[in-house]
Amino acid sequence: MGDKGGNNHSEVTDFILVGIRVRPEFHVLLFLLFLVIYGMVLLGNLSMIGIIVTDPRLNTPMYFFLGNLSVIDLSYCTVIVPKAMANILSQKKTISFAGCVAQLFLYALFMVTEAFVLAAMAYDRFIAICNPLLYSVRMSRSVCVQLVAGSYLCGWVSSILQISVTFSMSFCASRVIDHFYCDSNPIEKISCSNIFINKLVSFSLAVLIILPTIVVIVVSYMYIVSTVLKIPSREGRKKAFSTCSSHLGVVSLLYGTVSFVYLTPPNNPELRKVASVCYILFTPMLNPLIYSLRNKDVKDAVRRILWRKKMLV
């Protein structure tokens, strides 16, 4: 990569995160908004994990994946939001070079992992509905663990490649990142290096991640719909579709908000920040609600937990 300036990344010790531009009198309000939503993210996802771990009736592949989904949502939100909240009330709004590297690495790791876990969940529903007699074999505990481990491996490899090309650039013009967290696109804008390789790597990773996961999800649901429509009973069709509706809601929410971010015009950074808030805060907040409100097993598990607590009292 060509270096157009005199300073390189080894001389950069920190960056300045501009954050969301609001009037100073709204800083406290913005902080409280982030705090409330982040609190709901913690409460919702920790509750979902606790319910799945404590109720033996939820010891199934679907809830194993759902528990991991809650861990991932909680993790990538925690990687970004506490630092963003601290910067809202801070005058310096800085993040160390190492902190920026770590934030981008972990954020990319969990986002990519989530995409593959959602694809694994679609495959799980496909086997459960289209090949129920083989379900216990094809979705054994070891297979589920391997699918989740493979998702994390894909996320790890993707993150390594992303930070390698991003932080090999030179930063000679500015260290001000026009965002509320370290993301590759705003970091590229303050580089004085040739970013062609960065764009090529980012595009290749997007194709290698998004294309296979979407193909698995779409093909799985094509088979699921075809199988369900052949069920003669209306009640049977309704029950089969109900086991998939929550997953479809989560998939639509994630890919919808991510698409909103990357389809937002690049010359409107403030709108892109608002779009980023949608999937960094609102997606992990809404996912547990989608599963708890639309899933009978989860609602029954909550009732059993509350009943046990009532009996102990």
Output the tens digit of pLDDT for each of the chain's 313 residues.
444 444 444 477 899 999 998 888 899 999 999 999 999 999 999 999 998 998 888 899 999 999 999 999 999 999 999 999 999 998 889 999 999 999 999 999 999 999 999 999 999 999 999 999 999 999 999 999 999 999 999 999 999 999 999 998 888 767 899 999 999 989 988 988 888 888 899 889 888 888 899 999 999 999 999 999 888 888 878 877 877 888 888 898 888 888 887 777 777 888 889 888 988 999 999 988 888 766 777 777 777 776 776 666 5
Write the DSSP symbol of residue 11.
G
Q: How far apart are alpha carbons 52 and 58 in whole angstroms?
A: 6
The predicted pLDDT at position 310 comes to 64
Q: Could you tell me whether strands 94-96 and 176-177 are parallel, antiparallel, or unpaired per DSSP bridges?
A: unpaired
Taking Cα atoms as reference points, which of 212, 211, 237 lies closest to residue 224? 237
Contact yes or no for 95/101 (Cβ under 8 A): no
14-304 homologous superfamily = Rhodopsin 7-helix transmembrane proteins (1.20.1070.10)
Taking Cα atoms as reference points, which of 288, 264, 253 lies closest to residue 115? 253
The predicted pLDDT at position 220 comes to 95
The predicted pLDDT at position 142 comes to 96
The predicted pLDDT at position 294 comes to 65
Q: How far apart are alpha carbons 156 and 224 in whole angstroms?
A: 31
The predicted pLDDT at position 83 comes to 95
Q: Which residue is it, tokens 């026009």?
A: 178
Question: CA 196, 162, 195: angle at the middle one, nearest 5?
Answer: 15
Q: For residue 153, give both structure tokens.
A: 């491996």
Taking Cα atoms as reference points, which of 218, 52, 255 lies closest to residue 144? 52
The predicted pLDDT at position 10 comes to 46
Residue 25: count other Cβ atoms within 10 Å of its Cβ: 7
The predicted pLDDT at position 293 comes to 66
Write the DSSP symbol of residue 220.
H
